[in-house]
Amino acid sequence: MSKQVSSIRGMSDVLPEDTPLWQYIEGVLKTVVQSYGYHELRVPVVERTELFKRSIGEVTDIVEKEMYTFSDRNDESLTLRPEGTAGIVRAGIGNGLLYNQKQKLWLTGPMFRYEKPQKGRYRQFYQFDVEAFGYEGPDIDAELIMISARVWKLLGLDALELQLNSLGTPESRVTYRAELIEYFSAHKDELDDESQARLLRNPMRLLDSKHPKMQALIEAAPRITDHLDNESAEHFAGLQELLGGAGIKFKVNSRLVRGLDYYSRTVFEWVTDKLGAQGAVCSGGRYDGLVEHLGGKATPAIGWAVGLERLIELYRVTNGAGPVTAPDAYLVAVGDAAAAQALLFAEMLRNEVPGMIVEVNCGGGSYKAQFKRADKSGARVALILGEQEVESRQVGIKALRQDAEQFTVAWEKAAAAITSTE
Ligand code: ATP
Ligand code: MG
């Protein structure tokens, strides 16, 4: 036997026993965003490296150390997308979707980051992204948050807390930035190495440091909310009022930041204490400067992204295993005549009741072996087709999940009988 090829660290397979829950959660997300009038956009998983450097920013964890970057055969530097927003903005500008237009978009798919794999942190992971372009007022900020709240509610998740902050405008951050640099410079010895390196280039990133020795320092740092310009303060108050009206609870966390110039005003994060260290499930914010920064016409924009692995894990710890997909019927066919008829008989059932799951026993086997497979498949009923049944155009029906006698019906009545058998 040849040596097996192993999978890549931090990149996992989602097995058939787990995909029903993935499909269910993806289905809820899609249905909800579409019920708000958002449209799907699909973009490639590979983009020019430059796109991410320019949009995410050079002084960030992602660009500094997490990107999967490689040269293609033509020596172009390409990168596997670490997040969705950059590609959406690139596609929006390139396809003329944003020019003097409003857009409500969503995207889902795999993202790639070279991180230290651990629970809730992988190298390939899935995000579901929602983004809105062309809207300035706080109503869209509220709508986006309401969308996420509706998803949590439908999934029965109540252990998520909404943390909210406003970053003001880039102009209003100039004095705040200077104050932060002054504050942290005065405590230079207490900074971790990374923070030392970032102090002058991107001081707001220091507020994001997870380093234990930095926490007290961060706690006492100047607060952005004390530096908001009037319009941003009004925008923030407007958002809070809309959320209050919608009955969505939140906590203002003035240390929740994004350190990049094109971020503005609203930032938020849904966090939980049920997932250990990786408690951020969904994060979002306004990036009014990004479209222009990437070469488009200045367009306000806001979005959020939820990490599906974390969302699914939260679903599991809250609600248990989740849905399973089992056939409605498993068709046992014994003997040549029955085997020859089985595929066609199953087609007839699917024609009659679209969506009915009928698994045909392929590959033969004894009656006993086939029945075992029927049980293992999780099917609600077993259908039994033998020589005699084929001749009389009938089928045996045996409920597998309750104690009930086997009975026989004519082929035309089989679909109805399957549907009404528990
Ligand atoms: P963290 O602080 O946990 O590293 P982040 O700020 O890097 O998160 P974002 O870039 O805002 O995360 O991504 C949005 C969401 O995507 C996160 O809230 C999280 O649910 C998920 N996510 C981010 N990185 C990973 C990863 N490596 N593995 C799994 N999920 C991830
Ligand atoms: Mg991260």
Residue-wise pLDDT for 170-226, tens only, equals 888 888 999 999 999 999 888 988 899 888 888 888 888 888 889 999 999 999 988
Name the one residue in this structure whose structure tokens are 């998803």. Answer: 151
- Please state, for a pLDDT cut of 70, what percent of the chain lies above it: 99
* Cα maximum dimension of the chain: 92
Best residue among 61, 80, 83, 111 to mutate for probing ligand 1's pocket (most ligand atoms within 8 Å of CB) is: 111
Distance CA 169, CA 353 (A): 57
Distance CA 415, CA 417 (A): 5
* Entry field: residues in the chain: 422
Asked if residue 209 has its Cβ within 6 Å of ligand 1, the reply is no
Nearest-ligand number for the alpha carbon of 267: 1
Res 116: pLDDT: 96
By the 10 Å C-beta count (0-12 exposed, 13-18 middle, 19+ buried), 299 is classed as: buried
Give residue 62 CA to ligand 2 midpoint distance, Å.
7
Angle at 410 between CA 387 and CA 363, to 5 degrees: 40
At 17-35, the pLDDT tens digits run 999 999 999 999 999 999 9
Which segments of 63-209 does DSSP mark as H helices, in order?
Answer: 85-94, 138-154, 170-185, 193-198
Nearest-ligand number for the alpha carbon of 56: 1
Name the one residue in this structure whose structure tokens are 């058998």. Answer: 421
Q: Could you tell me which of 316, 313, 375, 383 has the C-alpha nearest to residue 350? A: 383
- Closest ligand 1 atom to Cα of 279: 3
Q: Which helix (H) or strand (E) holds 266?
A: strand 266-271
At 277-325, the pLDDT tens digits run 999 999 999 999 999 999 999 999 999 999 999 999 999 999 998 888 8
Give residue 138 CA to ligand 1 midpoint distance, Å.
25
Asked if residue 121 has its Cβ within 6 Å of ligand 1, the reply is yes
- Closest ligand 1 atom to Cα of 113: 27
Cβ pair 282, 84 in contact under 8 A: no
Q: List, as one string, the DSSP characters of 363-411.
A: S---HHHHHHHHHHTT-SEEEEE-HHHHHHTEEEEEESSS----EEEEH
134 has pLDDT over 70: yes
Cβ pair 357, 394 in contact under 8 A: no
By the 10 Å C-beta count (0-12 exposed, 13-18 middle, 19+ buried), 354 is classed as: exposed
Ligand 1, atom 19: closest residue by C-alpha: 307
Cβ pair 262, 293 in contact under 8 A: yes
Phi (first) and psi of residue 121, to 5 degrees: -140, 110
pLDDT band at 259 (very low <50, low <70, confident <90, very high): low
Q: List, as one string, the DSSP characters of 93-104.
A: HHTTSSTT--EE
Distance CA 384, CA 395 (A): 6
Q: What is the mean pLDDT of the chain?
A: 95
Give residue 385 CA to ligand 1 midpoint distance, Å.
52
Give residue 307 CA to ligand 1 midpoint distance, Å.
6
Q: pTM for the complete prediction? A: 0.93
Res 172: pLDDT: 86
Distance CA 61, CA 116 (A): 12
- Closest ligand 1 atom to Cα of 120: 29
- Pick the more confident residue, 49 or 259: 49
- Closest ligand 1 atom to Cα of 210: 2
pLDDT band at 59 (very low <50, low <70, confident <90, very high): confident
For the segment 242-269, the average pLDDT, to the nearest whole number, is 90
Name the one residue in this structure whose structure tokens are 């849905």. Answer: 323
For the segment 370-379, the average pLDDT, to the nearest whole number, is 96
Q: Quick check: helix, strand or coil at residue 64? A: helix
At 321-366, the pLDDT tens digits run 888 889 999 999 999 999 999 999 999 999 999 999 999 999 999 9
- Please state, for a pLDDT cut of 90, what percent of the chain lies above it: 85
Distance CA 108, CA 127 (A): 6
